[in-house]
Structure formats: C-alpha cells, structure tokens
Amino acid sequence: MVKPSFRKQPANSQGKTALFSDEKINAGSIRKTQLITTFGVGAIVDFKEDTVVIASTDDWDYSPNDPDEVENRKLFNENLSVITGAEYFLMPRTRKGPNSFSKEKNIPSYIFPEKLHCSRCGNIYDFRELGTKERHKCPKCSNELNASRFIVVCAKGHMDDFPYDWWVHKGQPCPSGVRSPRIRMVNINNRTDIDSLRLECTECKATRSMVQVFSADALENFPCTCKHPHFKDPYARAKFGCHEKMRARLRSASGVYFPITRSALLIPPWSRKAVNCIRKNYPLLQNVAEEKLVYAVRQVLHDENISDEEILRSWKVVKNTLEKKQTRSELSVYEDEYAILSKDSNQSEDNFSSYSVEIPEKYRSYFEQLAVVDRLTVTQAFTGFTRIMRNEENPVDISQYQKPWLPAVELTGEGIFIRFNKEKVACWRHDHSSRYKKMENAMKTGNLKFEMFSETYVLLHTFAHLFIREIANVCGYSAASIREKIFSEIDKDEDVKMCGVLVYVSSSDADSSLGGLISIAHNKDVFEEIMDRMLERADWCSGDPLCIYSTRQGYKDLNYAACHDCTLLPETSCERFNVFLDRASIVGLPENRELGFFK
C-alpha cells in the first residue's frame, strides 16, 4: 500500500501561497498500481477525511538515509524506453512497516480543493483559515466541512479552486471594500439540483445563481491562474502565461483528469534474468575487467544455476544494444513483440513463456496461430496527464524538474495470442477499405496522430473488444481487468505485415496468474463455443438498427457500429480509449453480410 500525505501550505502577507511547511498528516492509502493509472500525479483523490491532489514525482528518487532503497525500485525495459524516451523507470515507494499502523508517509500530496464548504450554514472557507486539528469543523456551527464540489481547469492542464468571490460579484471587487469577503453557497428550498444553487456575499449581500457556471463561456473573462497544484511550487510555470479559457467542472468529473500510460512486454532477450540484472547494473559492470566480469555479475545475480556462457552472452546483448544506441521507433517495438509471440516453438524464459495450441477446425481458415502465454511480464509507465480533453501529444509534466526516468510498475500475468490469416485479412481489406475513409478523415480532422491506423486495425481492435466481453463471462476475470494489445501494420506496398491480437491480464500480485485465460485456449471446444457466442452476440445490439448503421459514434466520431451495449470496454482494458471500432467489420450489415470478416 502507498500512503499519501498532504503538506499544509501557509499563506504569506499578500495572501499568496509561497511557503511550504514540513508538517505532514497521513491522508490515506492507495495501491501502487493506482499511482500509475487512476490516481496518478495530478489526480484528485477523496480519502475518508481529506481530499488531496497527488504531488509530483520530484522526490521519488530522493532517499538520503537509504540510497539502496531507490536502486531497488528501478526497473529496466528497453522496449518501453524506446516508446517513452526514459532511461529507466522507478516504482512508487511503498510502506515498509510490519503492520497497518506504521506511519510512513511515502507519497506526498497537497490539499485540493483548498476551499471547504459547510453544508449546514453554507459558509465557504479556505483551509488555511483553519488549524490543522480543526480543519474539518466549521468555525461558525461546528458542522463537518467538505471539499468544494467546484473547481476550474483549462485545456493546458492548469487547475484551481472555483472563484466564488469573482463569480458572485461578476468579476468586480466587493462594494463593501473587504478584500476577501465571506461567500455562502446555499440550496433554495433544500433542493439538490444545480438550478437551486446560489452564492451569496455575506458582506454586500450580492447573490448569483450557479446555473450557468458550466457553460462554455461562463468564465470567459476570468484569466487562467496558471496553477499546477501537484507541484511543490504551484506557480512555478506561471511566468509562461496561458491564454486558454478556464472552465468550471465538478472535482469528480471524468474530464478533470485523463492519465496517459504506456506499456511494453518484457520479451526475450530482456526477459532473461541475467540480461535484466546486467542491464540494471551496467554503469558499474562496464568498468570491470573482462576476466573478472563473470565473478562480478554473479555477485549481483545470486543464481548459481546460470552458466558462465549464458552470463557472457547476456553481457554481449546488453553491451551491443547500449553502445550502438540504435534509433528505433514504437512500431519496431511492436514488430519485435509480434515476432516473439508468433514463434510456433515453445519458449521459456525467466519472465516470459509461450507455446502454440490447436485451433478449432471451424476457425482454422481465419486464424494462423493460437498461442498460450502462460508467463507474461508487462512494464507499465505513467507519462503524464491531460485535462478537459484527452491529448497524448501535449501531456502535463509530472515533475517540476526534468527527470531521466518515469514512474512505473511491473505486472505479471497470462494471456492468449491470436494471429490472423494474413491472406484472408488482405482480401477483406481490399474489398472494404473504402468504408473507413470517413473514419480516417475524422482522425485527421481531430488532429489525432496514430501511425498504425488502417482498416486492419479497426477489424482487429473490434475483435479484441468483442472477445474480451465474451471471455469475461467464463474466465473468472472481470472485463476491466483484461487488457488488449493490437499488432497491426500495413507496409509501403500496402501488404498486411502484422495482424494479431494479444488479450491478457496482469497485476502486481498473483491474482493475474490463476489460469482463467489459459484454460480457455487449451480447450479447443471451449474456445470454439466462445467464438460462436461472441459472433452471435455481435450480430445484435439493443441499440440496433441505429447502432449497426451508424458511422458517427464515440469520441470525435471515430467509431462506427460500436456502443456501450455491444462493443465498448472499460478504459482500463482498451489501448486506444474506445475508438476505431466497427462491429460491422466482424459480422457485416443485415443486408450485406460480406462486409463482416467472419461472414
């Protein structure tokens, strides 16, 4: 478990946050995997007593009392380094105490929103007005204070408290002359809808409704505050300015935080224990004399079963890779993973193991290979986040100062790899490529860059979604815990180069190695039955006929026949946030079954 804490931020004489005390108060506990996804840096987290924003990673690699502690948290994945540009990765610092009552505060966080609201008297307070021990009690009526429901954000990732004073006075100073007047927020007739919510200045008695606060131009004249509350100095980037409009949002709204994560498999040769160990200790080992190299590696490897020859081979792999520093692309990483997964022979490494199984006769013309990946290691890194809109091109920095590493976790699990028949996919693509021109144009219009987009990707991606939805009913895992990885590539000659789907589960504990997916692939009768049911369910949706004939659904119209009732998955499962999907690519249209790959 990870234990965030918050730091009380006292105000200076001008009322601006400039100083930071070292006072820490335990806020609560979250899992380390959540720090890489749902509750990453910059996310607002509601704990039992406090609502906080997870702080930047600036002090994750700082441990003056125990330097080895940082070294033990380092991860290396060369393929993920190619994708993200990071030299290495660092796991979150976790609690070391022997029991649940230990007081380590491993991950810092700051109180946000800083405005607190009393539901009884309606008064709004800044948390700095209250003492540390009295921060949850209203000074007027002793009622429990709650974090403000409203915040403001901009498209560049800035976030601040809602300007209650500015809103109620319509951008003008309070006529009473009080610099920071007390504002009350009350519901008319104790109703709970936004229409009944009103703000009132206790000094000048000005009032204003909150009904228009969520409109696009509600805060048009309110300048962006350039605040990053996850930084130790929230205004560290304020000097760069910001011309984006701030928009009001509920603090728990989904548009407030979009985490961006990238992942890569730990595949041979990097999955070997010796290679991984040498890569992690390479800065030290490169200075060791050649005749002492094997002995030096064994001092850190602690495995007598690995031969001297294997150590030397592993050393050459690491040395050649790091010294040549070959320029590789993300697509080349996918090609390497695809090549390893596509091997028909059994493979068994320290962190990777796979073997092919029999394909049901009914589907042999559609698939070239069905493989079980019974030992799988995935490194998942957190690269940044966005607000209001998902935009992977311009994420918000997660560190105030530049770091050579990214926060990450290493997950283990199991999976099923399905390699499609290239010739059959090529024929389908040739016959129906014109259908997806509109989707491609929507992608370009929305300024989205996705090198692997093609008709083949839509087919494979849709298949993965339908397959995950079906196997979740029988494998024992929830759909939210099953992930996908799509291998799709069309070369310069318009030939299909990659066409495969990896469906897998992974977690930081043993829960992802229960054998649920493996048992499905092992039994060809079960696999065939799942495929039959998948196609049967895909043939009809409760949203039909609107769904099946649609060509403008989803985010920026990047889906065709795909809705929550038939195709979409939880965001934790999908690698492309539920876009580039078309159920008709699998089963066709009612009057045109030839459009479906499994016609």
Q: Do residues 553 and 531 touch, judged by C-beta distance below 8 A?
A: no
- 564 in a structural domain: no
Domain end call among 491, 514, 533: 533
32 vs 55: CA distance, rounded Å: 14
Residue-level pLDDT at 295: 80
At 153, which helix (H) or strand (E)? strand 150-153
Structure tokens at 557: 């119209």
Q: What is the pTM of this model?
A: 0.83
Rounded Cα gap, residues 335 and 348, in angstroms: 20
157-564-151 Cα angle (round to 5):
25
pLDDT tens string, the chain, 599 residues long: the values are 555 555 555 433 333 333 344 567 788 888 888 899 889 999 999 998 889 999 999 989 888 777 778 888 999 888 898 889 898 999 998 765 444 444 455 788 999 999 999 988 999 999 888 877 778 889 889 899 999 999 999 999 999 999 999 999 999 999 998 888 999 998 887 776 777 899 999 999 999 999 889 988 899 899 999 999 999 999 998 888 899 999 999 999 988 999 999 999 887 766 667 777 877 777 778 778 877 788 888 877 777 777 777 777 777 777 777 766 566 678 888 888 898 899 888 887 778 889 999 999 999 999 999 999 988 889 999 999 999 988 788 899 999 999 999 999 999 889 999 999 999 999 999 999 899 999 999 998 887 888 889 999 999 999 999 999 999 988 878 888 899 999 999 987 888 899 999 999 987 765 555 667 888 888 899 999 999 999 999 999 999 999 999 999 998 899 999 999 999 999 889 998 899 999 999 999 999 999 999 98
Output the six-digit token pair for 121.
Answer: 């008297």
Q: What letter does residue 255 receive in the DSSP assignment?
A: G
Which tokens sit at 237? Answer: 């980037």
Q: For residue 79, is it within any domain? A: no
The boundaries of the domain holding residue 411 are 330-433+449-533
Q: List all residues 6 or more positions away from 290 whose beta carbon is below 8 Å from its beta carbon.
A: none
In a domain, 314, yes or no: no
> Which residues pair with residue 347 across a beta bridge?
354
Last residue of a domain, one of 533, 560, 576: 533
Residue that is written with structure tokens 């987009």 in the block: 453
Does residue 339 lie within any of the structural domains?
Answer: yes
Q: Which of 174, 160, 146, 149 is nearest to 219 (CA)?
A: 160
- Same domain? For 222 and 341 the reply is no
CA distances, 578 to each of 16, 315, 490, 585 (Å) = 42, 42, 22, 16
**In a domain? residue 440:** no
Asked whether residue 555 is domain-assigned, the answer is no
Considering the domain architecture, whether residues 252 and 398 belong to the same structural domain is answered as no
Q: Are residues 392 and 246 in the same domain?
A: no
Instruction: Please give the single-letter amino acid code of residue 17.
Output: T
Residue 571 in domain: no
Residues 9, 575: Cα–Cα separation, whole Å? 38
Same domain for 94 and 242, yes or no, is yes
Domain end among 230, 257, 284: 257
Q: Are 182 and 124 in contact (CB under 8 A)?
A: yes
pLDDT score of 19: 36
**Number of domains observed in the structure of the chain:** 2
Q: Does residue 14 contact residue 32 with C-beta atoms inside 8 Å?
A: no
DSSP 194: G
My answer on whether 495 and 352 are in the same domain is yes
Report d(CA 291, CA 311) in Å as an integer.
Answer: 13
Indicate whether 94 belongs to any domain.
yes
Residues 205 and 341 in one domain: no
- C-alpha separations of 201 from 100, 189, 191, 522 in Å: 45, 19, 20, 69
